[in-house]
Amino acid sequence: MTTRWRPNHGLPGFFRSARRLNVQLTIYCVQDFQPVVFATLTEPNGTRLVKLLDDTSKFVRDLSFKTKTHVKPLIGYEDGANSHAHLILMVPKDEFDLFQSRIERFSPWKSWRFRTLDFQPFIEGHGSPYSYVLNKHNALLPEVFCPKKYSACRKGKCSHKRQD
């Protein structure tokens, strides 16, 4: 049995502003970002949705802080008997080189405590990953994870977080 996500029903604070979207709207919203990683994060079977999303949030936050780049995740999750999340992780185009130079400092297996994950570079034209993540699974499009690197970000005026 799959539990459907409902806004503000016990989800971690970061995901309260997340919205269900289709692929066309998603691509429109992330035009200033470049996909860099495709990841699959698997939890033990039967893990509750709140725990899955909380652990996923921590994983992306760790990546953002280690690489010192803003990270925009596109998340497709499945909860219940086979709890897992697929992520397309994107960085701003102007931070792509910084991400590439610092990604080796990030060890995905240290940030994902269950050690069952697939973390690989994103390859354009390799099937249809957007459709797989956002249409085949329950889609979430949370805000950008900010590493608080710049003074404007530390003051709460991050230019990568858009106000809808």
Domain residue limits, the chain = 20-145
CATH code matching the domain that covers 20-145, chosen among 3.40.50.720, 3.30.430.20, 3.40.50.2300, 3.30.70.60? 3.30.70.60
Alpha-carbon gap, residue 161 to 164, rounded angstroms? 10
Neighbours of 2 (CB within 10 A): 11
Q: 0.95 cut: is pTM over it? A: no
Could you tell me where the DSSP H helices lie in 12-117? 23-29, 49-67, 96-102, 108-111
Task: Tell me how far the alpha carbon of residue 62 is from its chain's centroid.
Answer: 11
pLDDT tier, 69 (very low <50, low <70, confident <90, very high otherwise): very high
Q: Give per-residue pLDDT as tens, 96-132.
A: 999 999 999 888 888 887 767 888 888 876 667 788 8
